[in-house]
A = this chain, B = another copy of it.
Amino acid sequence: MNNAENDLYLRALRGETVERTPIWVMRQAGRYLPEYRAVRAQAGDFLTLCKTPELACEVTMQPIDRFGLDAAILFSDILTIPDAMGLELVLEEGVGPVFNKPVRSAADISKLSVPDMHQDLGYVMDAVGVIRKELNGRVPLIGFTGSPWTLASYMVEGSGSKDFRRIKGLMFESPDDAHALLQVVTTSVIQYLDAQVKAGAQSLMVFDTWGGMLSTTNYQYFSLAYMQQIVDASKAAHPDVPIVLFTKGGGQWLEMMAATGCDGLGLDWTVDIAAARKRVGEQVVLQGNMDPVVMNTGTQQVQDEAAKVLAAYGHHSESDKGHIFNLGHGIQPFAEPENMAALVDTVKQQSQQYHS
């Protein structure tokens, strides 16, 4: 196959008939790769790596070069928008993200404004441009964002959280303030994805890492409603750019997620993909969903578990939108690089039988 012609991922996301199941992996450019760790060491810290387009491009390309994955994803962080809003993001190894200036009051929220996508976040758009040029058509480039609820959670908590008591406190006690925060974040996200597409992103993904911490009703009002705005705006501006929603822990809510009009749903590993296909397979492409921990085990386990996921989705049909292989969450730092090679080979070989 001519590299310039691998648009399998985009064709699959459009629900077209494809010859095999495409594969990419969340956090495919990451700490499990020695060549990533080398560039990361060169950059000094994670945020510098994100903010230096040439280095972001280099690590984005590493898993494409090494494993022949079917899509590249912009190397960046989900917290670039709050950082650009002035919250001062600090990313330390092993600590997780911390904001020096978290949002803790209605006054803090009222001071927030939509960042300028070129002045404040130009490094992201520059990275997209550099990566597209370097890819030169080999595989499509995925742009991404954190979901408004996920970004707002980090902004209010000031870091990761086990119980999300600050953001949920705001939601329960001052829902209008919570909505004001979510709206300024959503408006920013919409402009951010628009700018990424204009810079060259060919597909979009929304990571709703913390939507699964909400009750069903609050998920609808405080997370999904804002992802709906994002889908609507993206489809209005760029109808041909597919957009995928991924709520970790959202397996109960696939029907309402599919009803947003998005093109695909990311499934975490807890979801039975065969059951998900029955529920929403005619409406959306399903992306996922092997347990990422399998990548830390033996090659035989990787081959077996990948084959199980392919078999669980089963034979593709014209009435269903189809399947894109991925893990159910990001690959972990402990994963063996050779397991990624085995995974890609297994999916490329074993999936053909389901596309005849």
1/0 per residue, CB under 8 A from B, across A320-339: the answer is 00000000100010100000
Are B172's CB and A270's CB within 8 A?
no
Return the CB mask of A326-356 against B: 1 if under 8 Å, else 0.
Answer: 0010001010000000000000000000000
**Cβ-neighbour of A172 out of B172, B251, B305 (below 8 A):** B305
Q: Interface residue count for A (Cβ, 8 Å)?
A: 36
Given that A252-B251, A293-B165, A332-B163 are known contacts, is A215 also in contact with B270, CB under 8 Å in the complex? Answer: yes
- List the number of copies, as a whole number: 2
Q: Mark A196-216, 1 if CB is under 8 A from B, else 0.
A: 000000000000000011111
Which of A70-78, A110-118, A185-193, A296-304 lies at the interface with chain B?
A296-304
Q: Which residue of B lies closest to A296 (CB)?
A: B165
The answer on a CB contact under 8 Å between A217 and B252 is no
A293 neighbours in B (Cβ, 8 Å):
163-165, 168-169, 172
Contact digits for A269-302, partner B, Cβ 8 Å, 1 yes 0 no: 1111001000000000000000111101110010
Chain B, residue nearest A301 (CB):
B172
**Interface code A251-264, partner B: CB below 8 Å = 1, 0 otherwise?**
11000000000000
Distance from A176 Cβ to chain B, minimum over Cβ atoms (Å): 14
B216 A270 Cβ-Cβ under 8 A: yes
Q: A215 CA to B266 CA in the complex, in Å?
A: 15
Give the residues in chain B near A301, CB-CB below 8 Å: 172-173
Residues from chain B with Cβ under 8 Å of A122 in the complex: none
Q: Chain B residues with Cβ under 8 A from A292's Cβ?
A: 163
Q: List 28 A-B contacts (CB under 8 A).
A: A163-B292, A164-B293, A165-B296, A165-B332, A168-B291, A168-B294, A169-B296, A169-B297, A172-B293, A172-B294, A172-B301, A172-B305, A173-B297, A173-B301, A215-B269, A215-B328, A216-B270, A216-B271, A216-B272, A216-B275, A217-B308, A218-B291, A219-B270, A249-B249, A249-B270, A251-B252, A252-B252, A252-B271
